[in-house]
Amino acid sequence: MIHSKDFVDWLEAFGVDFYAGVPDSLLKPVCFYLADHAGDKHVVAANEGGAVALACGSHLATGKVPLVYLQNSGQGNTINPLLSLADRDVYGIPLLLLIGWRGEPGTKDEPQHVKQGNVTVNLLDAIDIPHRVLAREPEAARRCVAELLGIAAAESRPVALLVRTETFESYTPTVQATRNFEMTREDAIEAVVAALGETDAIVSTTGKLSRELYECRDRAGQGHQREFLTVGSMGHASQIAMGIALSRPERQVYCLDGDGAMLMHMGSAAIVGATGVPNFKHVIFNNGVHDSVGGMPTAGLKVSFTEIVKACGYTEAWRVERRDDLVETVAQLRSAKGPALLEIMIKKGARPDLGRPKTSPIENKTAFTEFLRRD
């Protein structure tokens, strides 16, 4: 296995000194090492396409090859800037992509990762990006990095390193300052769900939030037909919910979102606000980190989501930090004309024994659509 310090030292020896990306569980040691040691040469981007653009800007200013890190589920977000900006037939910008290979063929993973894992290499081939699998043995890995960086620099093009599970040694990050809010995400989910009506529909964002919602329903002895668990498509839950709200105006539709997901495609708030969907209710659980992939920080605690959505046209927006205020504010959200938003400040982290949904995505979709189509 590879030590993150050694890996970053190799990169720096080859002239790489700018890093941007969206965190991934397979790359967690490297992500945290960069957060501790790279200073303002490291940016946790809102989405993977933005990370490519940041890296391109760095290259234009310095002439050096930057690194972009991502989970393979984010490849889709990179395709436009890779093809229309960095490609050697357009601006010819050399980049090193470091891609966590979730769902690698032959490994067990969640459904959305299995599909993505099966097409990861084909996508790189289709967009003409030379690639290698990063070896787990250090000297072979160093040679692999050197080879790809040589291609990137000589041919002015993006290249990619695919990272399998257990490639990097674990790394313990420096303790990062964080707000110690009162509620856990699970506490807040239970309070919100308990206040909703029998006909209200929920769209929950990807990651631990959907897993906690599933277990919340199990503990309450309820079914799962009233919620759509968005197991992938990070950042798109609000637009799924908006589409439902427009099509079923007699129902209240709640998007349960995370701060990282909201930031990833924050332009969606402008579309919600401009459309003025009265039955759309947006709930953001904000802990300021990418919880599902290790806890790397987001910009969630440095921006005001309530002010942003009000500027986008939401009718109401509240921010809650205390459990005692939550039930009353959820009731206000439910009675308000939408689009309206409730931001709930929560602790980072989740239970170590948190399970995963026992139903498949197809089963979830079938039950949810039957629920939505009932009179």
Q: Which of 28, 240, 16 is nearest to 148 (CA)?
A: 16
Tally of domains in the chain: 2
Taking 60 as the threshold, does the pLDDT of residue 305 lie above it? yes
Do 209 and 289 reside in the same domain of the chain? yes
pLDDT at 15 over 90: yes
Question: Which range among 46-60, 195-209, 285-299, 327-341 shows the weakest confidence by mean pLDDT?
Answer: 285-299
- Higher pLDDT: 23 or 375? It is 23
Q: For the chain, what is the total number of helices (H) and then of strands (E)?
A: 14, 14
How high is the mean pLDDT of the chain? Answer: 95
Taking the C-alpha atoms of residue 61 and residue 17, their distance in angstroms, rounded to an integer, is: 12
Examine the fold and report which residue of 163, 195, 224 is the final residue of a domain before the chain moves on. Answer: 163
147 shares a domain with 38: yes
Contacts of 339 (CB under 8 A, 6+ apart): 272, 273, 275, 276, 277, 278, 280, 281, 282, 309, 313, 314, 315
Q: Which residues, 6 or more positions from 26, have their beta carbon under 8 angstroms from its beta carbon?
A: 71, 100, 101, 102, 163, 164, 165, 167, 168
Which of residues 101, 129, 163 is at a domain's end?
163
Residue 348 lies in a domain: yes
**Which residues are CB-neighbours of 117 under 8 A, at least 6 positions away?**
72, 101, 102, 103, 104, 105, 107, 109
Asked if pLDDT for residue 9 goes beyond 90, the answer is: yes
Domain match, 121 and 9 both? yes
**Rounded distance between C-alpha atoms, residue 26 and residue 24, angstroms:** 6
In the numeric block, which tokens belong to residue 98? Answer: 């470091």
For residues 208 and 115, membership in a common domain is answered with no
Q: Do 94 and 214 have their domain in common?
A: no
328: Cβ contacts below 8 Å, ≥ 6 apart: none
Cβ count within 10 A of residue 72:
26
The answer on 157 and 245 residing in a single domain is no
Task: Give the per-residue pLDDT at 293.
Answer: 84
Mean pLDDT of 191-219: 94
Instruction: Look at phi and psi of residue 294 and say left if phi exceeds 0, alpha if psi is from -120 to 50, else beta.
Output: left
Q: What pLDDT sits at residue 248?
A: 96
Q: What is the mean pLDDT of residues 89-107?
A: 96
Task: Give pLDDT, residue 292.
Answer: 82
Residues 242 and 120 reside in one and the same domain: no
**Is residue 179 a part of any domain in this protein?**
no
For 135-189, how does the pLDDT look when each residue is reduced to its tens digit (9 = 90+)? 999 999 999 999 999 999 999 999 999 999 999 999 998 866 567 899 999 999 9
Domain of 357, CATH number, reads 3.40.50.970
SS3 content of the chain, % helix, strand, coil (to 5): 45, 15, 35
User: Is residue 247 in some structural domain?
Assistant: yes
Q: Which domain holds residue 299?
A: 185-372
Largest CA distance in the chain: 65
Torsion-angle region of 235 (φ positive above 0: left; ψ -120 to 50: alpha; else: beta): left
Q: Which two tokens stand for residue 287?
A: 């802990």
Q: What is the pLDDT of residues 101-139, one digit of tens each?
A: 999 999 988 888 999 999 999 999 999 999 999 999 999
181's tokens:
């809010």
Within a domain: residue 136?
A: yes
User: Across residues 310-321, what is the average pLDDT?
Assistant: 98
- pLDDT for 180 equals 82
Looking at the chain, the whole-number percentage of residues with pLDDT higher than 70 is 99
d(CA 346, CA 350): 11
pLDDT of residue 313: 98
In-domain check, residue 41: yes
Residue 367 CB burial class (10 angstroms; 0-12, 13-18, ≥19): middle
Q: Is residue 237 part of a domain?
A: yes
Q: Which of 329, 317, 326 is nearest to 346 (CA)?
A: 326
Cis previous bond, 94, omega within 30: no
- Kindly state whether residues 205 and 348 are assigned to the same domain: yes
Residue (of 260, 287, 204, 305) closest to 22 by Cα position: 260
Question: Of residues 203 and 292, which shows the higher confidence score?
Answer: 203
Contact (CB, 8 A) for 163 and 27 = yes
**Considering the domain boundaries, does residue 176 fall inside one?**
no
Both 149 and 191 in one domain: the answer is no
Are 224 and 300 in the same domain? yes
Q: Kindly report the three-state secondary structure assignment for every residue of 31-90.
A: HHHHHHHCHHHEEECCCHHHHHHHHHHHHHHHCCCCEEEEEHHHHHHHHHHHHHHHCCCC
208 and 330 together in one domain = yes
What pLDDT, in 10s, does the model give residues 32-89?
999 999 999 999 999 999 999 999 999 999 999 999 999 999 999 999 999 999 999 9
> Would you state the pLDDT for residue 161?
98
Domain match, 70 and 158 both: yes
Instruction: With beta carbons less than 8 A apart as the criterion, state whether 227 and 203 touch.
Output: yes
Q: Is residue 177 part of a domain?
A: no
